[in-house]
Amino acid sequence: MSSQLQSTTSAQSIPSYLHADDLGPWGNYLRQVDRVAPYLGSSSRWLETLKRPKRILIVDVPIELDNGTVAHFEGYRVQHNVSRGPGKGGVRYHQDVTLSEVMALSAWMSVKNAAVNVPYGGAKGGIRVDPRKLSRGELERVTRRYTSEIGIIIGPNTDIPAPDVNTNEQIMAWMMDTYSMNQGQTATGVVTGKPISLGGSLGRREATGRGVFVVGTEAARRVGLDIQGARIAVQGFGNVGGIAARLFEEAGAKVIAVQDHTGSLYKASGIDTNALLAHVANTGGVGGFTGADPLANDEFWTIESDILIPAALENQITEKNAGKIKTKIIVEGANGPTTTAADDILHDKGVLIIPDVVANAGGVTVSYFEWVQDFSSFFWTEDEINQRLERVMREAFNAVWQVASENKVSMRTAAFIVACKRILMAREMRGLYP
């Protein structure tokens, strides 16, 4: 090996922003990738590709606030990998968004899209802003300016944003409009998760929660857990946790504990999820709901349940609380909710973890259906979409289950094996150019 080649793969040559800082999500992702290396055979030659995002764009997003002053926000769009198709992944608005986080989220999109075999690479975007502090007009101006700034790298065939934490159909409509106005033509396929009236797909809003429910019931079946009467605990009661909770309740389970950024709740006989969804729609969070008892935030993790669904942000299950968790199955509705250290603790305790890259892939799967429908300008029924979604989720779950049993590894490592093989095979077939 020439000394030049050696230096490109040595740790010293890795730019500082790519290092695994031990606590951040990007570090967590790198450790997950390292666990897969021994199972990749000849593809492991290309593994370094997955440790370096293909393209990172950092943008300044200035807007005029309602009070006449100008505020600047930092925005990102990271295209982690495009070997299997265009970049794809959501846009997050949150006061704690960092580049390391968006990099990790973009990488998890590459793995997720490959794990469920939708023909995309992985990308993610974000703005460091607390959207709750913005008026509707300010939110629109932030969205439009951000879209214009990242307009140089997004497009229906290059990189397709979608909703994520604190972004929704309205924000997707503004993004689609801004991109389209700049292009001089309406390009519905530039984002997914749009309103139905603008080329959105039936079933997209519920898709991530529905996917969590589908793989959750599949996992329960494998370990002999009856959903009827099963105790469910959910962290995050938004578009993912709220919908998943409602579907589990409809299937006969009891949602006994719920937590979000406004508080925690407990009710042994089961919380009425429709009433709680209505409360969240009115007040913005689960706090203050009178249909259950309030619970201290730390206690949420100690409540005994059958299925625990972290559906909020990353790094929620760490070595600090993993030892206290008493559950049979964890279904990761959020991206990156469990650190690698916590993963090991839970694995030793015999908890089955259905990893994010499979468990929450329902959203991007129906995003794919939406994009296909936009291109063909022909729209499917909600039944067709839900059936196809269920099929994709079950097939992905079964393939990963099989690899996990064959190699005696966790479902996370198995999902990474399936996904990384697909990505790296595409990488190898395409070859290096120029």
Nearer to ligand GLU, 147 or 192 (CB): 192
User: Least distance to ligand GLU from the beta carbon of 394, Å?
Assistant: 18
Q: Which among 57-65, 70-78, 176-184, 357-365 is the span making contact with ligand GLU, rule CB under 6 A?
A: 357-365
Residues in CB range of 249: below 8 A, 6 or more apart: 232, 255, 270, 273
CA angle 242, 247, 251 (to 5 degrees): 145
* Choice from 75, 241, 337, 363 touching ligand GLU (CB under 6 A): 363
Q: Does 367 bind ligand GLU (CB under 6 A)?
A: yes
Q: Which of 88, 112, 124, 194 is catalytic?
A: 124
Torsion angle of C-alpha atoms 274, 335, 158, 130, degrees rounded to 10: 70
Q: DSSP label at 320?
A: T
Q: Does 87 bind ligand GLU (CB under 6 A)?
A: no
Q: Is 124 a catalytic residue?
A: yes
* Joined tokens for residue 28: 């967590």
* Choice from 335, 338, 373, 386 touching ligand GLU (CB under 6 A): 335
User: Least distance to ligand GLU from the beta carbon of 24, Å?
Assistant: 18
- One-letter identity of residue 317: I
* Joined tokens for residue 326: 């008493």
* Joined tokens for residue 133: 């502090």
Question: Cα 69 to the chain's mean position, in Å?
Answer: 34
User: Least distance to ligand GLU from the beta carbon of 391, Å?
Assistant: 18
Stretch (H or E) spanning 353: strand 352-354
* Joined tokens for residue 46: 């290309």
* Choice from 101, 159, 164, 343 touching ligand GLU (CB under 6 A): 164
Q: Exposed/middle/buried for 233, CB within 10 Å: 0-12, 13-18, 19+? A: buried
* Choice from 53, 75, 86, 89 touching ligand GLU (CB under 6 A): 89
Q: Residue 62 — φ and ψ, nearest 5°?
A: -90, 140
Nearer to ligand GLU, 43 or 201 (CB): 201
Applying CB under 6 A, the site for ligand GLU has a residue count of: 12
Q: Which residue is nearest to ligand GLU (CB)?
A: 90
Q: What is the 3-state secondary structure (H, E, C) of 106-151?
A: HHHHHHHHHHCCCCCCEEEEEEECCHHHCCHHHHHHHHHHHHHHHC
* Joined tokens for residue 88: 């794809």
User: Least distance to ligand GLU from the beta carbon of 163, Å?
Assistant: 6
Q: Which among 10-18, 67-75, 85-93, 424-432 is the span making contact with ligand GLU, rule CB under 6 A?
A: 85-93
* Choice from 192, 316, 338, 413 touching ligand GLU (CB under 6 A): 192
Rounded Cα distance, 35 and 52, in Å? 17
Nearer to ligand GLU, 295 or 411 (CB): 411
User: Least distance to ligand GLU from the beta carbon of 312, Å?
Assistant: 13
Q: Does 200 bind ligand GLU (CB under 6 A)?
A: no
* Choice from 107, 162, 234, 420 touching ligand GLU (CB under 6 A): 162
Rounded Cα distance, 401 and 118, in Å? 19
For residues 351 and 374, is the Cβ–Cβ distance under 8 A? no
Q: Does 203 bind ligand GLU (CB under 6 A)?
A: no
Q: Which among 74-82, 86-94, 322-330, 424-432 is the span making contact with ligand GLU, rule CB under 6 A?
A: 86-94
* Choice from 75, 90, 121, 355 touching ligand GLU (CB under 6 A): 90
Q: Please give the biggest Cα pair distance in the chain.
A: 68
Nearer to ligand GLU, 118 or 409 (CB): 118
Nearer to ligand GLU, 147 or 264 (CB): 147
Which positions touch ligand GLU (CB under 6 A)? 88-90, 162, 164, 192-193, 335, 360, 363-364, 367
Active-site amino acid positions:
124
